[in-house]
């Protein structure tokens, strides 16, 4: 059963990812991205990260992809891009070599170190019928005790990002008109 | 027979590596800045999947804590990046990443 879930989620992830890089229409690419993000959420659930799966669906598939689609519609760039143009000669083969190379190095590292994956650390609480929110409780305990400073810093980061974006996207009034 | 095979942590890690490779390839090949941005999201998600898989593999909840923070930073990054893209696109219509050569020597 777990194998079945893994295979289906992996097909969703890889199919969506290939869709993102091959579809010429940005709207289709964004919708393929949703497929990938849902596949990742399924994998989070199957690895006992229930809270993160919910956040993944809400934040990524909900907010971020909607933001992407919003910008696509706002700018009117949803006409198909000609993906047969190759601006630099030999760019695609070179990119393929680099991409496959990075992938190969990571896979080699994973295969070489697979015996080192074992039971260490504090353990992860799995939800049961008695405590269905075990994952959220444990995550909250760690975020608000050991990592509370980092948590506060992320709030500063979000504030800076919002203010910066508003400043940047604001239409600057033409200078000289004021005088 | 088939149900006896259980996916191990390594399977998830290899899938994340493939996803990261696809994202890296997309960033290098695509010319639409928005699609390049989506490919960056793909790579971020590959990293998130790696963190969660290793949190499970090493039974350490701190891997999931890191993913929580990565998601916050990713959301902030998308907001700023899309703001920059909107600011650029408003000035020049239908621009691809290759047309932005103002800093070319």
All domains in chain A, ordered by first residue: 1-80 (1.20.120.1200), 132-173 (no CATH)
- Please report the ipTM that was assigned to this predicted complex: 0.89
pLDDT at position B91 is: 77
pLDDT at position A128 is: 73
Q: Is residue B65 part of a domain?
A: yes
Inter-chain touch B19–A72, beta carbons under 8 Å? no
B43-60 per-position pLDDT tens digit: 999 999 999 999 888 888
* B40, pLDDT greater than 50: yes
Q: Coil, strand or helix: which one is B92?
A: coil
A-B Cβ pairs (cutoff 8 Å, strict): 241
Residues of B in contact with A91 (CB under 8 A): 28-29
Nearest to A169 among B8, B72, B83 (CB): B83
pLDDT at position A179 is: 42
Helix axis angle for B33-57 and A65-75, nearest 10°, is: 180
Residue B98, classified by CB atoms within 10 Å of its CB into exposed (0-12), middle (13-18) or buried (19+), is: exposed
Number of structural domains chain B divides into: 1
Inter-chain touch A33–B26, beta carbons under 8 Å? no
Inter-chain touch B64–A51, beta carbons under 8 Å? yes
Residues of B in contact with A123 (CB under 8 A): 59-61
User: What CATH number has the domain bearing residue B30?
Assistant: 1.10.287.3510
Nearest residue to A23 (alpha-carbon basis) of A94, A105, A79: A79
pLDDT at position A91 is: 82
Domain containing residue B80: 8-92
User: In this structure, are residues B83 and A164 in contact, taking their beta carbons and an 8 Å threshold?
Assistant: yes
pLDDT at position A178 is: 44
Q: Is residue B104 part of a domain?
A: no
Any idea which residue has 């896979």 for tokens?
A: A107
A21, containing H or E segment? helix A2-22
Split at pLDDT 50, 70, 90, the class of B68 is very high
Inter-chain touch B31–A142, beta carbons under 8 Å? no
pLDDT at position A174 is: 60
Inter-chain touch A47–B52, beta carbons under 8 Å? yes
Per-residue pLDDT in tens (0 to 9) along chain A, 179 residues? 788 999 999 999 999 999 999 988 889 999 999 999 999 999 999 988 899 999 999 998 888 999 999 988 888 766 666 666 777 777 888 889 999 999 999 999 988 887 777 766 667 777 776 777 788 888 898 899 989 999 999 999 999 999 988 888 777 666 554 44
Q: Is residue B1 part of a domain?
A: no
């Amino acid at each position: 059963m777990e194998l079945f879930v893994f295979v289906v989620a992996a097909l969703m992830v890889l199919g969506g990812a290939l869709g993102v890089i091959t579809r010429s229409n940005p709207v289709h690419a964004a919708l393929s991205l949703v497929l990938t993000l849902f596949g990742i959420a399924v994998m989070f659930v199957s690895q006992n990260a229930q809270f993160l799966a919910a956040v993944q669906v809400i934040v990524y598939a909900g907010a971020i992809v909607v933001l992407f689609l919003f910008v696509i519609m706002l700018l009117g760039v949803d006409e198909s891009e000609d993906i047969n143009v190759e601006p630099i000669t030999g760019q695609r083969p070179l990119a393929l070599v680099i991409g496959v190379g990075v992938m190969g190095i990571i896979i080699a590292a994973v295969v070489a170190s697979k015996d080192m994956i074992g039971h260490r650390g504090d353990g992860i609480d799995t939800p049961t019928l008695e405590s269905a929110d075990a994952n959220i409780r444990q995550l909250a305990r760690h975020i608000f005790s050991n990592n509370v400073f980092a948590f506060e810093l992320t709030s500063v980061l979000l504030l800076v990002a919002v203010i910066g974006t508003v400043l940047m996207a604001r239409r600057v009034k033409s200078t000289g008109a004021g005088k | 027979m088939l149900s006896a095979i259980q996916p191990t942590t390594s399977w998830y890690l290899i899938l994340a590596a493939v996803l990261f490779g696809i994202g890296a390839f997309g960033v290098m090949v695509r010319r639409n800045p928005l699609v390049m941005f989506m490919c960056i999201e793909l790579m971020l998600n590959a990293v998130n999947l790696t963190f969660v898989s290793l949190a499970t593999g090493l039974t350490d909840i701190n891997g999931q804590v890191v993913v929580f923070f990565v998601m916050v930073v990713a959301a902030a990054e998308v907001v700023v990046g899309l703001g920059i893209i909107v600011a650029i696109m408003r000035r020049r219509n239908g621009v691809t990443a290759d047309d932005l050569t103002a800093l070319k020597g």
